[in-house]
C-alpha cells in the first residue's frame, strides 16, 4: 500500500510536522510543488495553514488538481499560531477535498506553530511525537 505526505509551509512549522508524519509513515515529505498529481496513493497526508485569514491559494489550487480516482483517502494536518484557530485550516482543507470528491479521514492533526511572539518553540518535541502517533494511527486504519 502506498502513502504520501504533502504540505505547503511558508515559515516551516507545517513542514516540520510533515517531516515527522513522513518519518512515521516511512516515506518522504513533499512540498505540494513536487508532488505528481498523477501518482496513485492509498493514503495522502495533506498539510497547510492559514495566512491573512485564508487558505494558501496554491494549496487550494493543488487540491483542485488532485485526481479523485487516484487518491484512496486524505488525512489532513495543520499548524496554527493560536489554539482557538486549530480547526480553521483543517476545515478549509477538508472541505476543498470533499468538493473534489476525495474522502477524508475523520481524524485530523493540528498543533501550535510559532508566529511572531505567539507559539514560541512550537512545534516542539511533544508536538512532533503527537504527529507521529497521528501518522501511525492513520496508516494503521487506512493504508493496509
Ligand X SMILES: Cc1cc2nc3c(=O)[nH]c(=O)nc-3n(C[C@H](O)[C@H](O)[C@H](O)COP(=O)(O)O)c2cc1C
Site residues (vs ligand X, CB under 6 A): 9-15, 49-53, 79-82, 85, 113, 115
Nearer to ligand X, 1 or 118 (CB): 118
- Collapsing DSSP states into helix, strand and coil, what is residue 62? helix
Give the C-alpha separation, 79 to 9, whole Å. 9
Residue nearest to ligand X (CB): 113
What's the CA gap between 81 and 5, in Å, rounded? 22
Taking the least distance from each CB to ligand X, the nearer of 48 and 74 is: 48
Burial of 70 (0-12, 13-18, 19+ CB in 10 A): middle
Provide the total of helices (H) and of strands (E) in the chain, helices listed first: 4, 7
Q: Could you tell me the smallest distance in angstroms from the CB atom of residue 62 to ligand X?
A: 15
- Residue 53 CB, nearest approach to ligand X (Å): 4
Nearer to ligand X, 52 or 140 (CB): 52
Q: Is 9 or 104 the residue whose CB approaches ligand X more closely? A: 9
Report the alpha-carbon distance of residue 103 to residue 8 in Å, rounded.
20
User: Smallest distance from the beta carbon of 66 to ligand X, in angstroms?
Assistant: 20
Amino acid at each position: 500500500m502506498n502513502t504520501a505526505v504533502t504540505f505547503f509551509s511558508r515559515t516551516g512549522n507545517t513542514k516540520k510536522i510533515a517531516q515527522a508524519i513522513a518519518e512515521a509513515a516511512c516515506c518522504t515529505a513533499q512540498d505540494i510543488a513536487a508532488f505528481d498529481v498523477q501518482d496513485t496513493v492509498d493514503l495522502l497526508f495533506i498539510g497547510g495553514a492559514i495566512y491573512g485569514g485564508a487558505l494558501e491559494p496554491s494549496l487550494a489550487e493543488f487540491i483542485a488538481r488532485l485526481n479523485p480516482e487516484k487518491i484512496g483517502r486524505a488525512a489532513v494536518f495543520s499548524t496554527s499560531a493560536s489554539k482557538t484557530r486549530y480547526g480553521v485550516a483543517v476545515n478549509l482543507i477538508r472541505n476543498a477535498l470533499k468538493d473534489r470528491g476525495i474522502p477524508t479521514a475523520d481524524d485530523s492533526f493540528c498543533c501550535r506553530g510559532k508566529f511572531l511572539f505567539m507559539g514560541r518553540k512550537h512545534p516542539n518535541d511533544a508536538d512532533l511525537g503527537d504527529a507521529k502517533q497521528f501518522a501511525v494511527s492513520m496508516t494503521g486504519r487506512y493504508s493496509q
